[in-house]
């Protein structure tokens, strides 16, 4: 997709500024699209197909690109994460990376048979620095109750992780709520995802075992935000989070 955008632009002897004018965006956005750091939205793809008379190439290419995880998903995602002002995240199986203790993260990396456990651990911990910067993002977190009672790394590691969660939940920029098992069937069973708010707007991210997929178009990101809100409607009140974590800790002992 990135290569074709650049190729088609050069074939038409157009500058990045000219393409930016067609798509009503900045020159820097075109650079990011051509380097693969960003992806065309549905509207942008349709606009290029119409103006350049491509026979729908970009629309079809975008559709196929969304079928498979991106090989650059992590670097693209973390770039947005690092400059986010607001992050909505739902996790149904694991404590999210930003909230993990080193021991919990280490246990997951070992279980995942990572080739460079220490290197990947350092990268995960580096991402967490955004929570302690002078202007940390607002973080809205939904976790299923199952996460709290699955002893990753053993009881001692899990107890330390739950203690860390309780401390994080007390921070003014973090809103943490628990989705109880008694909530029954819901979209909470469909998998983890995030919606990040950056200067350009909202960007979604859907997790997968072998990678992930960025949702760059506004409609797709909005749909994920609505899913987050529907799951939140079944979550326990924020004031009960500390007590639910405490109960989980007592059950592990």
User: Over the stretch 21-63, which tens digit does the pLDDT of each residue have?
Assistant: 999 988 888 987 888 777 788 889 999 999 999 999 998 888 7
Q: Please give the model's pTM, rounded to 2 decimal places.
A: 0.77
Two structure tokens written together for 86: 């607001």
The pLDDT of residue 126: 95
Q: Is the pLDDT of residue 202 over 80?
A: yes
How sure is the predictor about 200, in pLDDT bands with cuts at 50, 70 and 90? confident
Burial grade of 245 (CB within 10 A; 0-12, 13-18, 19 or more) = buried
Percent of the chain topping pLDDT 90:
66
As a whole number of angstroms, the distance between CA 241 and CA 238 comes to 5
Q: Are the beta carbons of 104 and 157 closer than 8 angstroms?
A: yes
pLDDT at 81 over 70: yes
Q: What is the pLDDT of residue 66?
A: 64
Q: What pLDDT sits at residue 185?
A: 85
């Amino acid at each position: 997709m990135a290569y074709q955008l650049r190729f088609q632009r050069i074939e038409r002897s157009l500058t990045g500024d000219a393409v930016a004018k067609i798509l009503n965006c900045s020159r820097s956005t075109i650079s990011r699209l051509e380097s693969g750091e960003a992806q065309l939205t549905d509207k942008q793809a349709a606009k290029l197909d119409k103006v350049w008379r491509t026979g729908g190439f970009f629309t079809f290419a975008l559709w196929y690109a969304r079928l498979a995880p991106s090989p650059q998903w992590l670097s693209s995602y973390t770039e947005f994460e690092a400059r986010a002002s607001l992050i909505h995240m739902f996790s149904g199986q694991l404590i999210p990376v930003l909230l993990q203790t080193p021991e919990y993260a280490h246990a997951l990396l070992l279980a995942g048979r990572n080739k460079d456990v220490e290197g990947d651990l350092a990268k995960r911990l580096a991402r967490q620095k955004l929570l302690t910067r002078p202007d940390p993002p607002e973080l809205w977190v939904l976790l299923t109750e199952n996460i709290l009672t699955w002893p990753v790394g053993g009881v001692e590691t899990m107890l330390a992780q739950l203690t860390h969660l309780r401390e994080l939940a007390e921070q003014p920029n973090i809103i943490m709520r628990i989705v109880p098992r008694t909530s029954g069937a819901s979209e909470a069973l469909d998998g983890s995802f995030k919606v990040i708010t950056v200067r350009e707007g909202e960007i979604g991210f859907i997790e997968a075992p072998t990678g992930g997929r960025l949702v760059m178009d506004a409609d797709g990101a909005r749909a994920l935000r609505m899913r987050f809100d529907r799951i939140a409607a079944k979550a326990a009140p924020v004031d009960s989070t500390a007590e639910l974590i405490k109960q989980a800790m007592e059950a592990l002992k």
